[in-house]
Amino acid sequence: MKFNSAVSIENIATFIDAKIIGNDKGIVTGINELHKAEAGDIVFVDHPKYYDKCLQSKATFIIINKETIVPEGKALLLVENPFEAYSNIVKKYRPFEPSSQLKSDSAVVGYGTFIYPNTFIGNHVRIGRNCIIYPNVTIMDYCIIGDNVTIQSGTVIGSNAFYYNSKKDREVWYKPMPSCGRVVIEDDVEIGANCSIDRGVSHDTVIGKGTKFDNMIHIGHDTVIGKNCLFAANVVVAGVVTIKDGVTLWGQVIVNKTLTIGENAVLLGRTGVGGDLEGNKTYWGAPAQDARTAQRELVWIKRIPELWEKVMGKKG
């Protein structure tokens, strides 16, 4: 999330009661989680396992609970509870805004767009020209919809991320990261019925131009889907996934978090993806592998009883 205007690190430190170590004259332009950090951002880290990764990230300012060596040009914000400090910053700069009407006064809808009854459009939403939004669609705060977009009934755009801070030494183990990111749907996209697209935790979930979704598809937080992709029904994509242009996912494909699928890859139905996949190939199975290899293996598996009988017959 980018702030509406830059904020001095001194003001942030005062707000969260933090000790600044390093560059105490820096200017903060936004807040982010580690996977999406950019220069000028604040991130937080509260586990030694991730200290080095966080310090070496693109983030300029790190909320942390242990004093350590500061990379040049960066600053640490030393606090007892980095997660609570991070959450308080999000709540300050992206506060909850209630809305009691179906279309917020702050939402902007382009010329030629038709919105059916019983659709909810939240605060600061922008919808482009010549879109059709069917009944019972929900578009939550700050989401952006391009031109010539179709969204079928029952779909939710911008639901909160399924993303939690986990600590086993407190009464409530899982505390939700406040979702301050957006969903950005580019031009000429079609979204089927009863889909859910989560907003980014602190960045954007993006659906690229010309991409088409069937019904009942879930897209996790901060995932970026390229142009002209095709997703069949019941596809599930976890958070922080990158899917390049021209990818086809057939029915019931499941994609694990924080991985990349290359351009023009085709994943056949019920494929399970646990790692990065090269583009311009066809995959099948769980875990995903080259479809021709998987099919040959299946043929040989079916022949095992026959081969066993031959082996045992020779021994007899």
C-beta separation of 280 from 262 below 8 A: yes
Same domain, 49 and 85: yes
Residues 6+ away with beta carbon under 8 Å from 244: 226, 260, 261, 262, 263, 264, 265, 279
Same domain, 58 and 87: yes
* Euclidean distance between CA atoms 299 and 306, whole angstroms: 12
**The Cα angle at residue 226 between residues 224 and 232, in degrees rounded to 5:** 95
Same domain, 230 and 179: yes
Q: In this structure, are strands 266-267 and 272-273 parallel, antiparallel, or unpaired?
A: unpaired
* Euclidean distance between CA atoms 59 and 22, whole angstroms: 14
Decide if 193 is inside a domain. Answer: yes
Same domain, 143 and 241: yes
Same domain, 25 and 118: no
Q: Exposed, middle or buried by CB within 10 Å (0-12, 13-18, 19+), for 77? A: buried
Same domain, 165 and 84: no
pLDDT for residue 315 = 61
Same domain, 54 and 131: no
Decide if 158 is inside a domain. Answer: yes
* Euclidean distance between CA atoms 23 and 6, whole angstroms: 16
Q: What pTM value is reported for the model?
A: 0.92
Decide if 313 is inside a domain. Answer: no
* Euclidean distance between CA atoms 177 and 302, whole angstroms: 48
Decide if 128 is inside a domain. Answer: yes
Q: Give me the residues paired with residue 283 across strands.
A: 267, 290
C-beta separation of 133 from 151 below 8 A: yes
CATH number at residue 225: 2.160.10.10
* Euclidean distance between CA atoms 39 and 283, whole angstroms: 37
DSSP 177: P
pLDDT for residue 316 = 53
Q: How many CB atoms lie within 10 A of CB 276?
A: 11
Decide if 21 is inside a domain. Answer: yes
pLDDT for residue 169 = 85
Same domain, 135 and 246: yes
Give helix 291-302 / helix 304-315 axis angle, nearest 10°: 40
**The Cα angle at residue 191 between residues 187 and 193, in degrees rounded to 5:** 160
- Count: domains in the chain: 2
pLDDT for residue 93 = 95
Residues spanned by the domain of 53:
2-93
CATH number at residue 7: 3.40.1390.10
Decide if 101 is inside a domain. Answer: no
| 35 is a catalytic site residue | no
Phi, psi dihedral angles at 48 (to 5 degrees): -55, -30
Choose among 230, 225, 195, 183: nearest CA to 208: 225
Q: Exposed, middle or buried by CB within 10 Å (0-12, 13-18, 19+), for 14? A: exposed
Decide if 241 is inside a domain. Answer: yes
Same domain, 59 and 170: no
Buried b (16+ CB within 10 A) or exposed e, 219-251: bbbbbbbbbbbbbbbbbbbbbbbbbbbbbbbbe
Same domain, 238 and 117: yes
Same domain, 164 and 230: yes
Same domain, 45 and 163: no
Decide if 159 is inside a domain. Answer: yes
Per run of 10 residues, the mean pLDDT along the chain (length 316 residues) is 94 97 94 90 92 93 94 95 95 93 97 98 98 98 98 98 90 93 98 98 96 98 98 98 98 97 98 97 93 81 78 67
Give the chain's count of helices (H) and strands (E): 5, 34
Radius of gyration of the CA atoms of the chain, in A: 23
Catalytic residue from among 35, 47, 218, 221: 221
Q: Exposed, middle or buried by CB within 10 Å (0-12, 13-18, 19+), for 306? A: exposed
Q: Tell me, what amino acid is at 249?
A: L
Query: In what helix (H) or strand (E) does residue 53 lie, and over which residues does it extend?
Result: helix 51-55
